[in-house]
Amino acid sequence: MDKTMKQPPPDDGRDPVGPASRDELEKLLEGGWLQAVADSAPMAVMAVDTEGRMRFWNRAAEEIFGWRAEEVLGHPNPIVPGPKRQEFQSSLQDTLSGRPVRGAKLERRRKDGSSVWIRLSNAPLLDADGRAWGAIAVAEDISEGVKARRRLDRVGRALRARAALAAAVIGAESEEELFEAACRAAVEEAGYRLAWVGLAHDDPERRVIPVATAGFEDGYLEGIRITWDESPTGRGPTGTAIRTGRPAVAADIEHDPRFSVWREDALRRGYRSSVALPLVTKTGVMGALNLYAPEPDAFDDEELELLGVLAQDLSLAVTAKRALLESEERYRLAFHTSPDAVNINRLEDGVYVDINEGFTRITGYTREDVLGKSSLELHIWANPEDRDRLVAQLRSQGVVRNMEAPFRMKDGSLRTGLMSAVVIVLGDEPHILSITRDITELVHTREQLELSTARLEILHAIDRAILQSTSIDELYERVLEKLAKLVPAKHASLAIFDEDAARAVVRVRGALEKELGPSRRLDLSDWFVEVERLRAAELVLMDDLAHEAGAGPGAGRLLEAGIRSLVAIPLNAHGALLGSLNFGFSRPGGSSDGLLEIGREVADSIAVAMEQARLREAEKLHARDLEARVAQRTAELRRAVDLMAGRELRMAELKKVIKALRRQLEEAGIEPMADDPLLGE
């Protein structure tokens, strides 16, 4: 038979395989029964003698290993590779000695040189005397299962490596720590023999400099030179991956010509295959993650894909870390070089965590003064309610923009700040990052501008009221009406004194208007302010009427009306006290420098208008007196004229009479004795 077992040693009458005798077994073989059964089995059935020469080989063995029966029968077992031959002989001796193999998972060789994994069980073949003359084995091809398992293992270790890297990213303080974490993950989780990261230097030599390593390195990286140019030291996996931006694999270092420069060092350390994975950023390839395995062909397509993702994870983490470090550096520079006050406080209690030099320059407080203390403890907020308002808005909206508030400096002075703030998290605890600009001078300028605008508006309105008034009483009414609308006071009044300053006509707007009426004549002994104080000062300022020693008897009425402070500005003209312009406020210290300045100018305008009105009244009186005198003189002149007109008429009649008499005398022949002077003209 082509596929029969060679004849065993001479029969000694013992049964080698169990209850069946050797003769019966030979009959089975000769009759083809055993061969027929073996060929119908899905598993390889093989038998060898004590020397390891093949004695039986079924059809499944041909299909699994590739050799035909005639190629193997009588020859040493071909499926055992050379390095495994001694191990095979030792296992065969164990089987012949009664210690058979059950379900052993073994790597064997096919005719084409490829590997095949089998699960093998065997048993000794015994002669009639019970002596072992060979062994029979049954083998199942489990290559696909082994490959699947290996794929799962590779996928699992790649995923574990990604998970380990992801965990390391959280706590890494620098990109060097990220590189080291990736190398550790590749060795400890994925099981590679060596992992290292090299960064590409853009120098004339284009060197690759190792920056992190893990696993069995044993001086390997110190003794080799790697570049990323086109030279022999740049054509290996690392240089190729950096140059092309794609993974580069050395599947078999021992026979890969690209690895010739480093082959001896690599093989001596047990590296049989490697892969270089490019670390790609937005600006290019910064380097490569290099992995080494102790066996050839360690990196299949699926594992390469997962390892490529691992390299991408590392690249993204490094890019993010670099961006974060750049951002932190920009923040540090912005924080410490900003001319504004920048500080970080705990949201809960306002304790200072950090301040910049701008804070010290503006407030006078040093880091030692404030760190560990709260803003409320240092009384920096002039109005603590402003901080409450800040915190409430931060809790609800997370940000506050351009909040204007007064702050107390270290020397006790107050300055106005324009604050913007946002909530940040430091160490799992919310903090306030705030930037405050000192706008004290700007506020002062703004207030001056507002006061100037208000001053011009009030003075223009007062001047217009004065010009539109046709009498002094109308002037008082128009002026008070404008003041009540334009000045933020609870009470406004004009007191016009008599010449002896004993009594006054008071015109009131606002508080006390109902009690006193719009106009009332009062005895000045019952006035709000002592008259002598008005004579002696440019103005009388009483910031707290309840505690003002110089307040007049009438001040009580002001307090009852809710007025807590008062300004009385005298109306003076040519040294004479004409009256006072008065403003009352609902809180102590209610006036301001700007309002006092406006009050003085308004008082001057009113005093001038009063003086002008009095002059106009005097002019009118004088004009009426002149008119009366002219009328009287005119009447007298008329009477004189009338008298003169009668005399002339009588003289004319007398002349006529004289002329008539002369004619009669002449006619009578009498010569007049002399010429009549009345006829001389």
User: For 401-430, how does the pLDDT look when each residue is reduced to its tens digit (9 = 90+)?
Assistant: 999 999 999 999 989 999 999 999 988 899
Residue 19, pLDDT score: 34
Could you give the CA distance from residue 354 to residue 427 in angstroms, rounded to a whole number? 14
Of the pLDDT bands very low, low, confident and very high (cuts 50, 70, 90), residue 562 is confident
Residue 21, pLDDT score: 37
| DSSP secondary structure letter of residue 333 | H
- Kind of pairing between the strands at 491-497 and 576-585: antiparallel
Q: What mean pLDDT is predicted for residues 533-540?
A: 79
Taking the CB of residue 574, how many other CB atoms lie within 10 A of it? 7
Residue 386, pLDDT score: 92
pLDDT digits (tens, 9 = 90+) for 470-508: 777 777 787 777 777 777 788 888 888 887 767 777 777
pLDDT > 70? residue 374: yes
654-to-32, 647, 660, 675, 676 alpha-carbon distances in Å: 207, 11, 10, 15, 11
Q: What mean pLDDT is predicted for residues 201-230?
A: 91
Question: Which has the minimum average pLDDT: 48-52, 232-236, 352-356, 537-541?
Answer: 537-541
Which domains does the chain carry?
Answer: 22-141 (3.30.450.20), 149-328 (3.30.450.40), 339-438 (3.30.450.20), 449-618 (3.30.450.40)
- pTM score, two decimals? 0.47
CA atoms within 13 A on the CB side of 33: 6
Could you give the CA distance from residue 61 to residue 291 in angstroms, rounded to a whole number? 38
CA atoms within 13 A on the CB side of 287: 23
Of the pLDDT bands very low, low, confident and very high (cuts 50, 70, 90), residue 512 is low
Could you give the CA distance from residue 381 to residue 405 in angstroms, rounded to a whole number? 8
Of 243, 267, 287, 245, whose CA–CA distance to 194 is shortest?
Answer: 267
Residue 23, pLDDT score: 47
Could you give the CA distance from residue 47 to residue 17 in angstroms, rounded to a whole number? 13
Q: What mean pLDDT is predicted for residues 383-402?
A: 92
Mean pLDDT over each residue of the chain, to the nearest integer: 82
In degrees and rounded to multiples of 5, residue 564 shows phi and psi of: -110, -15
- Kind of pairing between the strands at 414-426 and 429-438: antiparallel
pLDDT digits (tens, 9 = 90+) for 53-106: 998 899 999 999 999 989 999 999 999 888 888 888 888 999 998 899 998 999
Amino acid identity for residue 6 in this structure: K
- Kind of pairing between the strands at 399-408 and 540-542: unpaired
pLDDT > 90? residue 277: yes
Could you give the CA distance from residue 241 to residue 228 in angstroms, rounded to a whole number? 8
Residue 158, pLDDT score: 76
pLDDT digits (tens, 9 = 90+) for 436-459: 999 988 888 887 777 677 767 777
pLDDT > 80? residue 468: no
Q: What mean pLDDT is predicted for residues 40-47?
A: 85
Could you give the CA distance from residue 229 to residue 206 in angstroms, rounded to a whole number? 6
Q: Note the residue count of the chain.
A: 681
Of 358, 438, 428, 434, whose CA–CA distance to 391 is shortest?
Answer: 434
Most confident segment among 239-248, 535-544, 595-604, 671-680: 239-248
DSSP 65-132: H---HHHHBTSB-TTS-GGGHHHHHHHHHHHHTT----SEEEEEE-TTS-EEEEEEEEEEEE-TTS-E
Could you give the CA distance from residue 106 to residue 114 in angstroms, rounded to a whole number? 14
Residue 6, pLDDT score: 38
pLDDT > 70? residue 7: no
pLDDT over 70 percentage in the chain: 88
The residue that leads in pLDDT, 432 or 19, is 432
